[in-house]
Amino acid sequence: MNAAILTFQFAHNYGALLQAYALSRYLKGRNIHVEIAPYNPEWAQAEYAISPLAKGIPPRRRIRLALQYPRRKKQSQFFEQFIAEELNAGDTFATEQELYQWLDRHDCVVCGSDQIWNNRITGDGAAYYAAGSRVKKVSYAASLGTAQLSAAQKKNMEAYLLQFSALSVREPGSAEKVEQLLHKPVQVVLDPVFLLEKEEWMKLARPVDVDLNFLFLYFLQEDEVLLHWAQTYAKEHGLKIYEVHPTMAARHTGCKRLDEVGPKEFVWLIQNAACVCTNSFHATAFSTIYKKKLLHIPNSKSPERTISLLQRAGITLEQDGKMPLYDLALYDGSSLEREIEKSKAFLDAALREDTLR
């Protein structure tokens, strides 16, 4: 079988690249020939540009990029190396028509994972629904990234998702909304990072030159309360705080920022941290895989993403104002293991040769 993956493989974002790697790796382990669609739309080129001279960038952002460029250029090289070596996905076309022609050379396309159906990211276009392609279509762990369906999402889903032979999303709330809209079954599955065993991630991880008694801080949304708890926990336990930010946009007092961290180094930092403090979905996911001590308050823009993940790991988040610390090694992981097996079973069944005819 010859399968294509349609996802955000171009993003200089740890979660986006690691989930793409995991899905590709899992399918290859099932003896499926896999290619990641080398699609890099114009909106993404502007969104993830690091050069102040790139096209389509507003003047104020050009100034910020010019100031950040020396540091971001260094870190950007780590992302580009990962994309080239591990995803084998050169970004070679930007138009939807080229994408559909490329997809039609395959037996099927797997749309997902990540927030490919979040129109606040992709706009109103239909590319990530593989709308103009004639191949068989399956979604795996696609995320809407929104609490409610927008008009653009409803329009595209009604127009294109009925063409899919199997549908799955990452959050239970999303499944309910899509089922109500389409009257078609939608499976809830885990993010692709859970398709690989912990040992496979350990092989991928690349060491970072840091003191080994540390707390790892990774914010995708500024949170003064969560930062306070990180500083408090680190002081109480004698930990140094290392922080990473993919765009170099933030630096916090008392934290040592690491500027040369790609996806492999990101996995290693979570694996080796005494505690992880984050509001990122994928940093939370890897903390769950490695059963870390986790300081966590959900990202206010899309809180259901980590809430639903941790619930499936047996964790109910505290709302009482105490330190939001969860020792993931203490929770029964059997429920999550069952979810992983269900996710693999869905994907294996959706991609069986007989289901694609």
DSSP string, 158-226: HHHGGG-SB-EESSHHHHHHHHHHH-S--EE---GGGGS-HHHHHHH-----S-SSEEEEE-SS--HHH
Residue 229 sits in the same domain as residue 131: no
Q: Kindly state the average pLDDT of the residues 292-319.
A: 90
What are residue 278's phi and psi, to 5 degrees? Answer: -160, 155
Residue that is written with structure tokens 């595209």 in the block: 156
Cα–Cα–Cα angle for 160, 27, 335, rounded to 5 degrees: 85
Per-residue pLDDT, averaged over 244-249, amounts to 76
User: 236 versus 47: which is more confidently predicted?
Assistant: 236
Looking only at the bridges linking them, the beta strands covering 2-6 and 108-111 are: parallel
Do 147 and 231 share a domain, yes or no?
A: no
Model pLDDT, residue 84: 92
Which residue would you say has higher pLDDT here, 172 or 294? Answer: 294
Residue 354 has pLDDT above 60, yes or no: no
Q: Note the pLDDT tens digit of each residue in 143-173.
A: 998 778 999 999 999 999 999 999 999 989 9
First to last CA, the chain: 12
Q: 82 and 113 share a domain?
A: yes
Residues 202 and 142 in one domain: no
Per-residue pLDDT, averaged over 104-128, amounts to 93
* Gap between the Cα atoms of 154 and 144, Å rounded: 11
> Rounded CA gap, 122 and 126, in Å?
9
C-beta of residue 188 within 8 angstroms of C-beta of residue 249: no
Q: How confident is the model at residue 62 (pLDDT cuts 50, 70, 90)?
A: confident
Give the pLDDT of residue 351.
Answer: 94
pLDDT of 292 reads 97
Same domain membership, residue 145 and residue 172 = yes
What tokens were used for 333? 């992981």
**Locus of tokens 């127009």:** 159
Range with lowest mean pLDDT among 11-20, 191-200, 308-317: 308-317
**Strand-strand pairing, 325-327 and 293-296:** antiparallel
Same domain (yes/no): 41, 101 = yes
Residue that is written with structure tokens 């927008």 in the block? 150
CATH code for position 89: 3.40.50
Tokens of 132: 């103009």
pLDDT for the residue numbered 29: 96
Q: Give, as one character, the DSSP assignment of residue 90.
A: -
Query: What secondary structure, in 3-state letters, does 227-258 show?
Result: HHHHHHHHHHHCCEEEECCCCCCCCCCCEEEC
Q: Give me the chain's average pLDDT, please.
A: 92
Cα(115)–Cα(333) distance, rounded to whole angstroms?
26
| Residue linked to tokens 């591990």 | 86
Regarding whether 126 and 22 lie in a shared domain, the answer is yes
Q: Total domain count for the chain?
A: 2
What average pLDDT score do residues 27-36 get?
96
- Flag whether pLDDT at 248 surpasses 70: no
- Flag whether the pTM goes above 0.75: yes
For the segment 51-55, the average pLDDT, to the nearest whole number, is: 79
| Distance, CA of 3 to chain centre | 20
Please give the share of the chain, as a percent, with pLDDT higher than 70. Answer: 97
Q: How many other CB atoms sit within 10 Å of the CB of residue 326?
A: 22
Q: What is the pLDDT of residues 167-210, one digit of tens each?
A: 999 989 999 999 999 999 999 999 999 999 999 999 999 999 99
| 187-190, Cβ contacts within 8 angstroms, sequence gap of 24 or more | 187/342, 187/346, 189/140, 189/141, 189/339, 189/342, 189/343, 189/346, 189/347, 190/141, 190/309, 190/312, 190/336, 190/339, 190/340, 190/343
Domain carrying residue 304: 198-332
The verdict on 122 and 246 lying in the same domain is no
Q: Is the pLDDT assigned to residue 124 strictly greater than 90?
A: no
Whether 163 and 175 share a structural domain: yes
Give yes or no: residues 59 and 133 share one domain. yes
Separation between Cα atoms, residue 332 and residue 316, nearest integer Å: 13
Closest among 232, 219, 244, 240 to 306, alpha carbons compared:
219
Its sign, for the CA torsion 342, 303, 271, 209, is positive
At residue 69 the predicted structure's pLDDT band, cuts being 50, 70 and 90, is confident
Claim to verify: residue 168 and residue 229 sit in the same structural domain? no
Query: Is the Cβ–Cβ distance between 39 and 127 less than 8 Å?
Result: yes
Residues 317, 310 contacting (CB under 8 angstroms): yes
Longest dimension (CA), the chain: 60
Q: Indicate whether 112 and 24 sit together in one domain.
A: yes
